[in-house]
Amino acid sequence: MVEQIVVKSARKHLSIFISYSHFDNAVAIQLRNNLESAGFNVVEYGRDLAFSAKIESFNDKIVRCDFFIFVVSEQSADSRAVQCELGVAVRQSRANRGYLPLIIPIYAPNAGRRADGSRIEFFPYLESADSSFSEAYPLALVRGWDNFQNPSIDSYENLINQLLPKLYISNYNFDDESFFYETGVFDLYNDLFPGREQDNPRDIVRWVLNEDIGAVRDIELCPGRILTYSLDSRYCILSLAGRAVGLGFFTLEKKNNLVFGNYIAIQEHWRAGELAKSFLKAAIAEFQKIYGKFNGFVFEVELFDKYEIERIIQYLERQKEEFPGPNRKKLEFMDEKDSIEIRKFLRVYWYESIGCRFFMDRDSNTPLESRSPCLDPHADNWVEGEDKFWIMWKSNDSISVHVDDYSLWAQSIESIYIEILAKSLLEISTKKIEYWNYVNDIVSSILNSVKPECVCRASYLRRRDEDLFRRWVNLRMPLAI
């Protein structure tokens, strides 16, 4: 097993808000210096510090931060300012289902107890700045850090290591089933994908730890006819402060020597700040180490309409204009279909930002469509279970592939639909020959529908689409992709 993989390029995009009483200046400044030296973006809000007067709105900074750290002491527990700041963080974290910001207590010297000897177990916070009644935040709810009582375990070095975004890959730097559940990655999986699209977590664990591990497997299609295939699947987990915020499923298909990326997503409140791009780039870089000389990565993406993206963003911008400033209401999509359409656009933007390109039709200058076979071999009507996708390609930067674009596209289609999906599903099918012929007919029809000389690899998004993305970002609507 290798050491943990730190996604170094992401740390400068992670912001940390430090809340504290002016009595705890020394602790806060030491903490800030350590965090900034490690490359984090730190917002320190101390009322006795000169630069604090320049901060126009701590509320907005807390809402937008990734980590909220508050220094625990008898003085800070009695500070209305700290209570108010913690209240903002608690409300925002609840609204984001506990994902953002992640709340972390840091204990000042002798902060574990009040002057009367009682331990600070509940930290008071205010629901609003003008509130006269404080709520109680249970400190046992989250991992606290006490560098003074436990200098070896709760050192600043260990705290920084905990905050750094980390990438974990099954059968590479973890091989224990319990690790999936410790990180909460399946909770994230349930949160990001609708039930109809999900695989059973037990199946995922079985595939990546025990079955799809590179061995050659045989399937008896019919008496006397054996099919073989070989898959090596890996599950990626992006973790912050011990909690999964991103995931991905990658499979090396050995016949065509391609890596298929599937179920790749990041929690919506961590989508901004380049973390998504850093995660995917780091995963691809590690797979180039793990798999060596494979040809490239292939991804399925859902079709979307650029004119629909324009319409949806205009609709949301009108809402924003209608309720400007502090009276602005939460922006809402017209319906769920609109949110799904935006997700498709963001996913393509994400993939293109790391160098993925579409297989395109030269004549129409649009992505080539593929048709996914039904993924339920037991279904009565397979045609009803089919779906359309575009295929994207990312070269393996460590090697040069001297193959024409049509051949790469054909290999990608065969790899996804025959070698990975069909052969895996044949093992559970009761109609093996019928299903096998059905999938092969679909693949043949896809490949025969395109003239080889018309296939090229290119970006689909243009300068106008870059403007659409900037307009989307300005709306500041978190959305998982």
Per-residue pLDDT tens for 455-470? 999 999 988 888 999 9
Residues 6+ apart with CB under 8 A from 118: none
Contact 163, 245 (CB under 8 A): no
Domain boundaries, the chain: 5-163, 166-475
Q: Which CATH superfamily includes the segment(s) 166-475?
A: Gcn5-related N-acetyltransferase (GNAT) (3.40.630.30)
Residue 99 confidence (pLDDT): 80
Whether the model pTM is above 0.95: no
Residue 271 confidence (pLDDT): 60
> Is it true that domain 5-163 has CATH number 3.20.20?
no
Q: What DSSP line would sit under 426-471, residue for residue?
A: HTT-S-HHHHHHHHHHHHHHHHHTS-GGGEEEE----HHHHHHHHH
CA 369, 372, 373, 378 dihedral sign is: negative
Closest CA to 450 of 357, 358, 360: 360
Closest CA to 417 of 389, 395, 393, 396: 389
Residue 394 confidence (pLDDT): 93
**CA-CA distance, 32 to 18, in Å (whole number)?**
8
Residues 6+ apart with CB under 8 A from 132: none
Residue 324 confidence (pLDDT): 67
Question: Which 8-state DSSP code applies to residue 72?
Answer: E
Tens of pLDDT, residues 151-185: 889 898 999 988 888 999 999 989 999 999 999 99
Task: Establish whether domains 5-163 and 166-475 are of one fold.
Answer: no
Q: Report, as ranges of residue numbers, the positions in the chain whose pLDDT lies below 50.
A: 1, 48-56
How do strand 369-372 and strand 387-395 relate by DSSP bridges?
Answer: antiparallel
Residue 473 confidence (pLDDT): 87
Residue 360 confidence (pLDDT): 96
**Amino acid, single-letter form, for residue 373:** P
